[in-house]
Each structure stands twice: as C-alpha cells, then as structure tokens.
Structure 1
C-alpha cells in the first residue's frame, strides 16, 4: 500500500537551532496516528511544514497516489488538496450559530459575486445536518457557537474541517481542557474519522493516547526517536530518558 503522505529526510533550522533534523514520516489513507514528544521536539514545525506554513531547508513532502510535491504548493493549495489542520485553541465564529459556522465552511465558490448571491440549498442544509450529527452537535445547530462548552467548540471546529472533505486531518492536542466525558466522545470521533481518512493527533496526554489505541510516533530533537504501539514505545529506554522520566 502506498502512503497518502510521505515525508522524507526533512530538516529545518531557525537561527541556528535545528527544529527538524532529517525527519521521515509516512501515513496511509485510512490510519490514525498519535505523535508525542517533549516540548521542542519539533511537533508543531512538522505540522507547519506539511501544511505549507514553513518550508524545510531540505527533504521532500509527497502527497497522494501521484506523489505530488507539497513543497511546490501554497498553504491554500495544500488545503485544497485535502489537508486540514485543527489548532489547539478552537477558532470558531462565536457570535454565529453552529449551523452558520458549518455553512461558512462548506466547499463552495468563494468568488465575491458567488458569495454575495449565495443562498442555502436543500443539499447544503442536508450537509450541515450530516456534519453536525457526525461531530455530536445535531441538537445544538441553532445555538451560538460562543455558548458551547470547550469540548463542543473543538467538535464544531472538526466539523468545519470535515466540511471540505479532507483526506488528512492534523489535530493538535484535542483533549486539552476537556471533561472526561468530552474526552471519551472525542476518542470515539477521531477513531471513527480514521476509518475513512488519515488522522494525525499531536498529544501530550498519555491516557488519551492510550484510548486512541493506534500506532505512536515519538519525536525528539526534530527526529523520530521511536515508533510502534504505545506499550512498545513507552518501554523504549531512550523514550523513558527523554520524555517519560524514570
């Protein structure tokens, strides 16, 4: 099986500091992966490179069946290729309803005239209802996004990303600030999403990672230190030394 995303030998320095050091990573089309590591391990820079926010000094980032180079594309073009990123803090339109947030995220012609003349259709209403159901907000459609709990805002933002039918989702610390019930619901959601697309979860919370029950990649000093099941990597002496502590 060829990988959906293939990152090969990327390096990136900022003012002499090597944030990414010859890092290679791949993920298949329907796979859930957790990425863990201490602060400064390169997790954010890795996501920045995949999404086009940062250019590596060397290496390659290849995408899809045709192994298209993402390094030749802008951030907007990479997003249109089907790579969605959810940052740690939810960014939703708080003074708009849940339904309106989802409507704004739908795939549509974004030219000025098309936007001015746009009216909801039966298909767009159905899609909004579908997305809300998928992320557990079917009964919250009329509520203002600002009234939602922290966890619900996270789900709404995931729903907004799903509106553009991404093939790869990069999700940064989704469990942070959630109640136990919200974390369990988030685990279920991410596992279900990974049945039909690639999902990379960057997370510090080991209990949450264990619930995901997926392959884990450990980063340290900008490189892959270990990879495998959570039990496998947490028994690795190097991972214990640099990340878990003895």
Structure 2
C-alpha cells in the first residue's frame, strides 16, 4: 500500500543553520504516529514544510495515491487537498458558540456573495452536532467558546479541523496544559480519529505518547534518529544520549 504522505530527502536551512537535514519518512493512510525529539530537532519545521508555510531547499513531499507534490501547492491548496494542522495554542472564536465555530469551519463552497445569504439548514445542524459529539462537546453547543476549559478548546479546534474533512491531521503538543482527565480523553479521541484519518502527533510528554501506543519517530538535528515502538526508541543509546538524558 502506498503512503498517504511521503517526505523524501528534505533539507532546509535558515541563516546557515540546517533545521531539516535530509529528512525522509512516510505516513500511511489511517496511521497514528508520534513525533518526538529535543527542542530544535526540526519537528515544527517539518510541519511547516508539509503545510506549505516553509519551502525546503531540496527534497520532495508527495501526497496521496497520485503522489502529488505538495511543494507545488500553496497553503490554502494543501489544506483543501486534505492536510489539517492544529497548533499548540488553540485558536477558536471565543465570542462565538461551539456550534457557531463548527459551522464556520464546515467545508463548503462559500464565495463572498453566497456568504451574505447563507443560513445553516438541517443538514448543516446535523453535521455540526455530529462533529461536537465526535470531540465530546455535544453538551456544550450553545456555550461561548471562551467559557470552555483549555482542553475543551483544544477539542473544539480539532472538531473545526474535522469539519474540513482532512485525510491527515498534524497535531502539535495536544497534552500541554491539560488536566489528567482531559489528557486521557484526548488520547481516546486521537486513537479513534486514526481509524478514519492519518494522525501525526508532535509531543514532548512521554506518558502521553505511551498511552497513544503507536509508532514513534525520533527527530534529532533535522533527521530521523530512531523509529519504532516507544519501548524500542527509548532503549536506543543515541536517543538516550541526545533526548532522554543519561540515567
């Protein structure tokens, strides 16, 4: 089976610093993958390249069954192709309700004139309710998003990404700032989403990564240092040296 996303020989430098160094790996359809590594390992730059924010100096990024080059597309085109990204800090419209946030995020052809007269119908309301149930916010549809807890805002943003019908979700440090109960619910959510989407989680929290129970890619100095189960990579002497620390 061909990969959904294939990163091959990617390198990028900023002012002489090589942030990504001949990086190559692939993500399969409906795969849950965790990416870990020390600060400066290239995790954020990798996501910037895949989403079109940063252009590499060399290499290729291929997408889908037809191996479309994402490097030939802009950020909006990449998002429409099915790549969704959630940043660490949730960005929701806090003065709008959960339902309104999800409605605005729905994938639809809405030009400037259509927006003026567009009103949600029964189909839209059903879709919004389904999205809210997916992320555990169906009891909060009428609440202003600013009233939600940090974890609930994270789930709402994931719901807003799902509204765009992505094939790949890039999720940056979802566990940061969450309570233990929220972290457990987020683990369950991400594992469930990976049954229908490819999900790549960039995370520092090893306990959270262990609960994800998925393949782990360790980045160091812009390259893949190790790959495999969490037990496998954390037993690697190089990973212990550069990331986990001796002892």
Which band: TM-score by shorter chain? over 0.9
Are positions 1:159 and 2:159 aligned together? yes
Q: Deviations over 1:210-236 (max 9, x none)?
A: 000000000000000000000000000
- The total of aligned residue pairs comes to 246
Partner of 2:63: 63
Cα distance in structure 1, aligned partners of 2:206 and 2:245: 13
Runs of 4+ displaced beyond 6 Å? none
Cα distance in structure 2, aligned partners of 1:108 and 1:118: 11
State the secondary structure of the residue aligned to 1:227.
Answer: strand
Partner of 1:209: 209
Are positions 1:47 and 2:47 aligned together? yes
Partner of 2:175: 175
Contact 1:85-1:170 within 8 A present in 2 as well = yes
State the secondary structure of the residue aligned to 1:49.
Answer: helix
Are positions 1:185 and 2:189 aligned together? no
Cα distance in structure 2, aligned partners of 1:107 and 1:242: 42
Cα distance in structure 2, aligned partners of 1:107 and 1:114: 14
Cα distance in structure 2, aligned partners of 1:47 and 1:110: 28
Q: Give structure 1 stretches of 5+ with no counterpart.
A: none
Cα distance in structure 2, aligned partners of 1:179 and 1:223: 32
Contact 1:35-1:201 within 8 A present in 2 as well = yes
Q: Deviations over 1:174-226 (max 9, x none)?
A: 00000000000000000000011100000000000000000000000000000
Cα distance in structure 2, aligned partners of 1:169 and 1:25: 16
Q: Give structure 2 stretches of 5+ with no counterpart.
A: none
Structure 1 stretch 110-119 or stretch 58-67: which is displaced more? 110-119
Cα distance in structure 2, aligned partners of 1:110 and 1:8: 36
Contact 1:109-1:115 within 8 A present in 2 as well = no
State the secondary structure of the residue aligned to 2:219.
Answer: strand
TM-score (norm 1): 1.00
TM-score (norm 2): 0.99
Cα distance in structure 2, aligned partners of 1:74 and 1:239: 35
State the secondary structure of the residue aligned to 2:8.
Answer: strand
Q: Deviations over 1:108-164 (max 9, x none)?
A: 123111111111111100000000000000000000000000000000000000001
Residue 25 (structure 1) shift: 1.4
Partner of 1:88: 88
